[in-house]
């Protein structure tokens, strides 16, 4: 037992021993002796305990508790006098001498008010001290244990509910996660099968340039942006729709019970407008946009995974088409995706089976009209499709990283072959070799060492190796690219800017980077005869190159008229089908041999 505590109304008086307060009419006031704490018991349990206590002790019994205002409330009672209704406040004349029996295990009850089970001395006036309280004590202890168990069960239930919520919701945004989204999507598919008129759509969303925000402003601001986007997406939808965060900067939306697929398009436009407004994050004004792919229930095929994947495909089509837009899924996207997957699988096998070959296209000096170099171009000898040109597999190789081992092999093979030709066909100005470097290769930390090793192993003079990089390589990360190009230049190789004029404006880089020559893209050269502005563009590029002391190579020459025009404009070198298409090593060697004989 704890020390005595008085639980009473403001007009109550303390009671001790056999001294009993009297009510205004002079009658003895029943003394309540409390025996335990149990706040969490329901009314039915309180009533049951009151009856058991009354039967076991032969005394009137009450179960009482204190409310938030400090009043005493009767929760159950057996044998109390009038004016002590269950559920009401105890009368002011009722004094409670509270002795709390609180086992240590009762400490697990949180936020509990004092709740006691008490025996009331009979009105005949028999002594409290002589009443048999053992049964009441045991019942109080049992009640306390029951209260503790109920508290533990309630806590466990709350914990399980929280765990389930955490399992099905994103911790950052509070939105449903992929698991809950797929569950609701499965239900939507099931409804569409039962009700033919039921239509729904899935939207797959990916934030544009989210990585830029993360890299420049930090992950905390990135997280704030995700939360802000989640809130705006929620405002764009109806209560029956679901928006979920799938992970990273990807979101998905389930539009239920739509009347037509055009409804999904209107929602996508509303989302674009909502996200177009700037967001203030930690003092930064951030603009964002989103690429959206949409698929309707007619394309579901009863498979949630397939439907989400289809929306994902449409989203990537939106990104490839310029971002900040939406695209509807069609079956051709799936066929293209399967073809792309097959290409990736075949590419991996091609490396193992050595199915790649290097073709060579002559580069002609317009002063001597003789071959001054070769460009190494990879081809894929596919066992079923035949010779596959780079345009059909380089993008997949770049995306998957397979371009790195492919590019390294091409570099080594081209240098090895150049050494053979330089020995077989010695010239005052040795034959040179152009090799393309991809974005992925430039990003490799061992690129410079790989180039140095290829030069060392083949024994060629470094300045006879011409490495070609595109404008996108430089613009994507100018600082890193500048450092790599400087290291390559230190090896003694020459650097060419390939496809000049087709990508980003790189005029400012031409004077800053160690570029030796630029290659004018075939799209300009091939239209020189038909379109005057293309002719003027070529003229401008050549003038610019001369002012920067750079050489020029014209790509894609297909006619004598183009050749004549390029020579008049002062272009130093050219290549194209007019001279020779890319050919296998034996045919390239035959071209070199024929020049030696002429």
Residue labelled with tokens 């509910």: 161
Q: Which residue has the higher pLDDT, 92 or 39?
A: 92
Dist CA 23 CA 13 (whole Å): 11
Q: Which residue has the higher pLDDT, 501 or 425?
A: 425
CA distances from 226 to 173, 181, 208, 223, 534 (A): 7, 18, 12, 5, 45
The tokens describing 204, both together, are 């797959």
The contacts of residue 416 (CB under 8 Å, 6+ apart) are 457, 458
What is the phi/psi pair of residue 370, to 5°? Answer: -120, 165
Domains of the chain: 4-154 (3.30.450), 178-329 (3.30.70.270), 341-595 (3.20.20.450)
Which H, E and C letters describe 353-403, residue by residue? HCCEEEEEEEEEECCCCEEEEEEEEEEEEECCCEEECHHHCHHHHHHHCCH
In 3D, which of 451, 454, 458, 550 has the Cα closest to residue 496? 550
Question: How confident is the model over 510-555, as pLDDT tens digits?
Answer: 777 889 999 998 888 988 877 788 888 899 889 988 988 999 999 9
pLDDT at 302 over 50: yes
Which pLDDT band holds residue 371 (cuts at 50, 70, 90)?
very high
Rg, C-alpha atoms of the chain: 42
Buried b (16+ CB within 10 A) or exposed e, 128-165: beebebebbbebbbebbeebbebbeeeeeeeeeeeeee
Containing 287, the helix (H) or strand (E) segment is none
Check: CB of residue 272 under 8 Å from CB of residue 290.
yes
The contacts of residue 81 (CB under 8 Å, 6+ apart) are 30, 123
Dist CA 589 CA 105 (whole Å): 93
Question: How confident is the model over 154-182, as pLDDT tens digits?
Answer: 888 888 888 888 889 999 999 999 999 99
The contacts of residue 551 (CB under 8 Å, 6+ apart) are 516, 517, 518, 545, 572, 573
Check: CB of residue 165 under 8 Å from CB of residue 157.
no
- Cite the beta strand spans of 18-96 per DSSP E: 32-34, 60-66, 72-78
In 3D, which of 524, 526, 462 has the Cα closest to residue 494? 462
Question: How confident is the model over 393-432, as pLDDT tens digits?
Answer: 998 898 889 999 999 999 999 999 999 999 999 988 999 9
For the ranges 148-157, 209-218, 268-277, 373-382, which has the lowest average pLDDT? 148-157
Provide the edge-to-edge strand list for the sheet that holds 115-120: 32-34, 115-120, 60-66, 72-78
Q: What pLDDT is recorded for position 230?
A: 94
Q: What is the mean pLDDT of the chain?
A: 80
pLDDT at 486 over 50: yes
Which pLDDT band holds residue 135 (cuts at 50, 70, 90)?
low
For the ranges 149-158, 314-323, 429-438, which has the lowest average pLDDT? 149-158
The contacts of residue 439 (CB under 8 Å, 6+ apart) are 398, 470, 472, 473, 476
pLDDT at 29 over 50: no
Q: What pLDDT is recorded for position 420?
A: 97
Dist CA 263 CA 254 (whole Å): 12
Dist CA 225 CA 207 (whole Å): 10
Q: What pLDDT is recorded for position 334?
A: 73
Neighbours of 557 (CB within 10 A): 24
**Helices 447-458 and 478-490, packing angle to 10 deg:** 20
Neighbours of 434 (CB within 10 A): 24
Cα three-residue angle 107-112-113, rounded to 5 degrees: 130
Check: CB of residue 488 under 8 Å from CB of residue 449.
no
3-class DSSP state of 109 = coil
């Amino acid at each position: 037992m704890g020390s005595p505590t008085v639980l009473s109304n403001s007009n109550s008086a303390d009671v001790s021993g056999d001294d009993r307060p009297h009510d205004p009419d002079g009658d003895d006031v029943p003394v309540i002796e409390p025996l335990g704490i149990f706040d969490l018991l329901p009314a039915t349990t309180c009533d049951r305990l009151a009856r058991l206590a009354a039967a076991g002790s032969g005394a009137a019994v009450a179960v009482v508790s204190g409310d938030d205002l400090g009043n005493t409330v009767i929760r159950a009672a057996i044998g109390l006098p009038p004016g002590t209704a269950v559920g009401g406040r105890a009368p002011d004349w009722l004094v409670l001498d509270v002795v709390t029996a609180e086992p240590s295990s009762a400490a697990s009850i949180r936020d509990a008010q004092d709740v006691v089970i008490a025996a009331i001395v009979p009105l005949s006036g028999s002594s409290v001290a002589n009443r048999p309280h053992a049964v009441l004590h045991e019942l109080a202890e049992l009640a306390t244990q029951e209260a503790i168990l109920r508290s533990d069960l309630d806590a466990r239930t709350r914990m399980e509910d929280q765990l389930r919520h955490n399992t099905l919701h994103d911790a950052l945004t509070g939105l449903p996660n992929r698991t809950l989204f797929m569950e609701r999507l499965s239900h939507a598919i099931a409804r569409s099968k039962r009700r033919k008129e039921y239509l729904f759509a899935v939207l797959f969303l990916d934030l544009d340039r989210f990585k830029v925000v993360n890299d420049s402003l930090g992950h905390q601001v990135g997280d704030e942006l995700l939360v802000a986007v989640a809130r705006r997406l929620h405002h764009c939808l109806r209560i029956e729709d679901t928006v979920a965060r799938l992970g990273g900067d990807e979101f998905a939306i389930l539009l239920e019970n739509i009347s037509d697929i055009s409804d999904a398009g209107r929602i996508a436009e509303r989302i674009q407008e909502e996200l177009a407004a700037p967001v203030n994050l930690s003092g930064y004004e951030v603009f964002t946009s989103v690429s959206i792919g949409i698929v309707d229930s007619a394309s579901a095929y009863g498979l949630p995974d397939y439907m989400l994947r289809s929306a994902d495909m449409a989203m990537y089509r939106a990104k490839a088409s310029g971002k900040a837009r939406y695209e509807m899924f069609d079956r051709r996207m799936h066929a293209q995706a399967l073809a792309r997957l097959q290409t990736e699988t075949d590419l991996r096998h091609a490396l193992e089976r050595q199915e790649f070959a290097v073709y060579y296209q002559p580069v002609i000096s317009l002063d001597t009209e003789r071959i001054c170099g070769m460009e190494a171009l990879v081809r894929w000898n596919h066992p079923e499709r035949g010779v596959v040109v780079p345009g059909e597999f380089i993008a997949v190789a770049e995306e998957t990283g397979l371009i790195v081992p492919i590019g390294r092999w091409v570099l080594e093979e081209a240098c090895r072959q150049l050494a053979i030709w330089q020995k077989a066909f010695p010239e005052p100005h040795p034959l040179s070799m152009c090799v393309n470097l991809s974005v992925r290769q430039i990003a490799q930390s061992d690129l410079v060492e790989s180039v140095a090793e290829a030069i060392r192993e083949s024994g060629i003079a470094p300045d006879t190796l011409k490495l070609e990089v595109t404008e996108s390589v430089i613009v994507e990360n100018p600082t890193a690219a500048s450092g790599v190009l400087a290291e390559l230049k230190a090896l003694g190789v020459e650097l060419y800017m390939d496809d000049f004029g087709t990508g980003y404006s790189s005029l400012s880089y031409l004077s800053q980077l160690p570029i030796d020559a630029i290659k004018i893209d075939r799209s300009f050269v091939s239209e020189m005869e038909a379109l005057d502005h293309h002719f003027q563009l070529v003229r401008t590029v050549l003038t610019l190159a001369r002012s920067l002391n750079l050489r020029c190579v014209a790509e894609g020459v297909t006619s004598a008229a183009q050749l004549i025009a390029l020579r008049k404009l002062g272009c130093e070198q050219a290549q194209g089908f007019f001279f020779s298409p890319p050919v296998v090593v034996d045919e390239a060697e035959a071209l070199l041999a024929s020049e030696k004989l002429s």
